[in-house]
Amino acid sequence: MSGALAAQSLVVKQAIDGALTMPSLQLAMAIELGPRATEALQAGLMLAFDVDWELDDGRELHQSLALRYSPLLRSYQLAVGNGHPQTFALRNALLAAMENAQLRWPDAAACSGACGGRVRVRLDPAQLPAPLRLPALFDSDWSFDSGWKAVSGGPGGHVAAGPAGRVEAERPEQMTPGTVT
């Protein structure tokens, strides 16, 4: 991927496993809404994104991130899972909060060590109104999919997805660069 983002894009730049007593994930993403998605959001439609996390121990965890705008209240909301939504006055603040989302799975069993694995974030077209579902499947204006990115195990050595899908380690003495699958 070049330095500039496309008109609409979703990239997971970094995902850090913060497993303590429950699986948790700190995302660092870059999202750029295109004109159609921005128009839909401004009209009050919810944009729901699925976060899929495949842990190293074989478990799969799922959670949603929902973006909304209330034209009457002139405020934006970000809902993480079933939690209470956060409210924002500006769309840029909403997107910044989504880009740095922290996800927790309190009902899931804790990992024995670092949870690791890989993560993917993508638009859930099933949550769109019926007239937009089919275009969301085929129209590139609705193509929001980060692809699978490796998850690092805690703050010791962050693994970030770099250019051309390469993994770059902040502590090269601990990790060897390789390809993200």
- Per-residue pLDDT of 121-154, as tens digits, reads 999 999 988 888 888 888 877 888 899 998 876 5
pLDDT confidence bin for 92, thresholds 50/70/90: very high
- pTM score, two decimals? 0.75
Lowest mean pLDDT among 21-30, 65-74, 154-163, 167-176: 167-176
Give me the mean pLDDT over the 111-115 stretch.
81
For the chain, what are the domain ranges? Answer: 9-127+142-169
Q: Which residue has the higher pLDDT, 48 or 168?
A: 48
| Whole-number pLDDT of residue 115 | 85
133 against 1, higher pLDDT:
133
Average pLDDT, whole number, for the chain?
A: 77
In the predicted structure, residue 181 carries a pLDDT above the cut 50: no
Q: What is the pLDDT of residue 4?
A: 39
Query: What pLDDT is attached to residue 6?
Result: 42
Contact of 155 with 16, CB cutoff 8 Å: yes
